[in-house]
């Protein structure tokens, strides 16, 4: 073997050693990164959906008469965890009369399956609640927004009689129908908005959130984890009129 060949082989050996060291370093870094991530962001959650009474900003129970029909501004409450925004809507027709929202088997285009939306609650059966996180890529209010009947939905052909009251996300154009369990009207989303199940106590006139149905909240592995829970002693959740028109 001449000097030149020896030098070439030495170069190859040095390169191979460097690659082995580099691979080991990357593997260790990967393990450490996973460990650090787990230490910094532990999976926080709860074991079941809590039952929480809806209250207003004054802490008093929210009554049907407090919620305007066709909810002209964005009313939000956070459930089941403190970082999960949901719309509270009192749905009406084009004349502003509350609409009795029937139960509906909501299709999930992404999977081909369906789930049962129980319909509206309250004295008129017109109060519903849905996740306010778009199922396409996670936009939140004001980008995702409820447009009452006949109102023009910006950037779409929905206006007048072609808008029976849709939720629309201006980020990329997804549209949902709150009268039918927030089913998908236009993509790019292929999943409906998750539905917060409400119950109405007719003797007290109050509302409570007690569960969710539909797809998992966007960006989560489970509706019950990946956020900050309420205190275990909490029995109420505040509904806020954000004033966003």
Instruction: Using alpha carbons, select from 166, 189, 185 the residue that is nearest to residue 111.
Output: 189
Q: Between 188 and 205, whose beta carbon lies closer to ligand FES?
A: 188
C-alpha 17/C-alpha 133 separation (Å) is 50
State which H helix or E strand residue 53 sits in: strand 52-55
Q: Between 63 and 137, whose beta carbon lies closer to ligand FES?
A: 137
Q: Is 169 in the site for ligand FES (CB under 6 A)?
A: yes
Tally the C-alpha atoms within 13 A of residue 123's C-alpha that lie toward its C-beta. 12
Q: How many residues bind ligand FES (CB under 6 A)?
A: 12
Kindly tell me which residue out of 62, 106, 127, 139 binds ligand FES, with binding defined by CB under 6 A: 139
Q: Are 165 and 70 in contact (CB under 8 A)?
A: yes
Q: Between 107 and 138, whose beta carbon lies closer to ligand FES?
A: 138
Q: Between 121 and 144, whose beta carbon lies closer to ligand FES?
A: 144
Q: Is 173 in the site for ligand FES (CB under 6 A)?
A: yes
Q: Is 185 in the site for ligand FES (CB under 6 A)?
A: no
Q: Between 45 and 188, whose beta carbon lies closer to ligand FES?
A: 188
Q: Are 176 and 197 in contact (CB under 8 A)?
A: no
Q: Are 130 and 215 in contact (CB under 8 A)?
A: no
Stretch that binds ligand FES, among 74-82, 101-109, 166-174, 231-239 (CB under 6 A): 166-174
Distance from CA of residue 169 to its chain's centroid? 12
Q: Smallest gap, in angstroms, from Cβ of residue 140 to ligand FES?
A: 9
C-alpha 21/C-alpha 80 separation (Å) is 47
Binding site for ligand FES (CB under 6 A): 134, 136-139, 169, 171-174, 188-189
């Amino acid at each position: 073997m001449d000097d030149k060949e020896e030098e070439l082989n030495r170069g190859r050996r040095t390169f191979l050693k460097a690659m082995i060291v580099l691979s080991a370093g990357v593997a260790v870094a990967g393990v450490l990164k996973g460990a650090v991530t787990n230490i910094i962001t532990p999976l926080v959650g709860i074991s079941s959906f809590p039952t929480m009474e809806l209250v207003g900003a004054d802490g008093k129970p929210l009554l049907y008469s407090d919620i305007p029909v066709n909810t002209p501004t964005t009313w939000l409450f956070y459930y089941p965890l403190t970082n999960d925004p949901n719309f509270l809507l009192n749905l009406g027709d084009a004349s502003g009369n509350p609409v009795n929202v029937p139960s509906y088997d909501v299709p999930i285009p992404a999977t081909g399956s369906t789930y049962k939306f129980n319909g509206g609650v309250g004295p008129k059966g017109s109060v519903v609640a849905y996740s306010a996180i778009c199922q396409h890529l996670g936009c939140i209010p004001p980008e995702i927004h409820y447009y009452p009947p006949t109102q023009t939905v910006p950037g779409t052909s929905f206006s007048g009689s072609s808008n029976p009251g849709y939720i629309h996300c201006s980020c990329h154009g997804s549209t949902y129908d709150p009268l039918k369990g927030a089913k998908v009207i236009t993509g790019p989303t292929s999943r409906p908005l998750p539905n917060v199940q409400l119950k109405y106590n007719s003797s007290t006139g109050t509302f409570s959130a007690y569960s969710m149905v539909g797809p998992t909240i966007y960006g989560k592995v489970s509706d019950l984890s990946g956020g900050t829970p309420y205190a275990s002693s909490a029995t109420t959740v505040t509904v806020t009129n954000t004033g966003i028109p």
